């Protein structure tokens, strides 16, 4: 990492250790949810909503059950087109400061390698990823055609596709769609699912 990233969008994380981790790799506004505090303190959610009115916001929670609940709560309160949903991979391990691993035995944002977080945020330094997502025609119709929704094994297919991109398992179709539109082009998606664009 040559220098810190200058991220123009507010980044939402769960706790202060997550914030400290990001401060090592980026300059910009980092807001914490105080874990489940965002459920109890209305002013925190009000702040996030206000930020989203002025700028897209980046949502980066842990990939465990608690992180998914927090992400879902914020996603239900903020318009979809104002959220940039970023995901860390599910990596087994324990944060150094903790005596015991999390309930699910996976690392959170604070436990991620700095380079991984740097690479995750890098496309947002100049807005390149947002422009690509807005132009990407990938839709729920594609998911249905490719068996990612509406079929008996759709959940397993989504999990396999998510894993191939370093995304967590158990993502909803809408969450996976939003992530794919940011992470890959339509052509790259077609290649991943084994479909040609002439079909």
Residues 110-149: pLDDT tens digits? 999 999 999 889 888 876 667 677 788 999 999 999 999 9
Q: Are residues 97 and 38 in the same domain?
A: yes
**129, part of any domain:** yes
* Predicted pLDDT at 128: 67
Which range of residues forms the domain containing residue 184?
A: 137-199
- Length of the chain measured in residues: 199
Residue 66 lies in a domain: yes
Q: Say if 49 falls within a structural domain.
A: yes
Q: DSSP label at 155?
A: H
Q: Give the CATH number, domain containing residue 61.
A: 3.40.1360.10
Of 135, 160, 191, which residue is a domain's last?
Answer: 135
3-class secondary-structure state, position 5? strand
Q: Are residues 128 and 199 in the same domain?
A: no
- Max distance between CA atoms of the chain, in angstroms, equals 54
Domain limit, last residue, from 93, 111, 135: 135
Whether 101 contacts 85, CB under 8 Å: no
pTM exceeds 0.85: no
Is residue 84 assigned to a domain? yes
Can you give the pLDDT at residue 197?
A: 61
Q: Is residue 26 part of a domain?
A: yes
Could you tell me if 53 and 109 lie in one domain? yes
Q: Which of 135, 157, 179 represents a domain boundary (last residue)?
A: 135
> Does 94 lie in the same domain as 28?
yes
Asked whether residue 94 falls in the same domain as residue 190, the answer is: no
Overall domain count for the chain:
2
> Which DSSP symbol is given to 106?
B
Phi and psi, residue 13, nearest 5°: -130, 175
24-to-3, 18, 28, 50, 112 alpha-carbon distances in Å: 10, 10, 11, 26, 12
Confidence tier at 198 by pLDDT (50, 70, 90): low
2 inside domain? no
Among the listed residues 13, 128, 135, the one whose alpha carbon sits nearest the alpha carbon of residue 67: 13
Residues 13 and 59 in one domain: yes
Q: What is the mean pLDDT of the chain?
A: 88
Q: Is residue 107 part of a domain?
A: yes
Distance CA 187, CA 136 (A): 10
Half-sphere exposure for 167 (CA within 13 Å, toward CB)? 25
* Residue 8 exposed, middle or buried by CB count within 10 Å (0-12, 13-18, 19+): middle
- Tell me if 3 is assigned to some domain: no
pLDDT for the residue 199:
52
Q: For position 98, what pLDDT does the model report?
A: 76
């Amino acid at each position: 990492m040559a220098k810190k990233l200058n991220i123009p969008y507010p980044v939402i994380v769960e706790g202060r250790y997550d914030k400290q981790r990001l401060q090592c790799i980026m300059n910009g506004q980092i807001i914490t949810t105080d874990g489940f505090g965002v459920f109890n303190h209305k002013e925190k959610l009000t702040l996030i909503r206000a930020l989203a009115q002025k700028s897209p916001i980046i949502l980066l929670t842990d990939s465990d059950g608690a992180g998914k609940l927090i992400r879902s709560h914020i996603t239900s309160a903020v318009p979809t087109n104002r959220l940039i949903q970023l995901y860390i991979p599910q990596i087994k391990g324990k944060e150094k400061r903790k005596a015991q691993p999390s309930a699910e035995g996976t690392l959170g944002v604070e436990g991620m390698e700095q380079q991984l977080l740097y690479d995750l945020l890098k496309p947002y330094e100049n807005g390149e990823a947002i422009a690509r997502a807005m132009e990407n025609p990938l839709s729920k119709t594609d998911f249905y055609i490719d068996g990612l929704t509406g079929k008996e094994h759709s959940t397993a297919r989504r999990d396999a596709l998510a894993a191939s991109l370093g995304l967590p398992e158990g993502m909803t179709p809408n969450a996976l769609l939003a992530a794919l539109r940011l992470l890959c082009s339509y052509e790259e998606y077609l290649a991943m699912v084994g479909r040609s664009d002439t079909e």
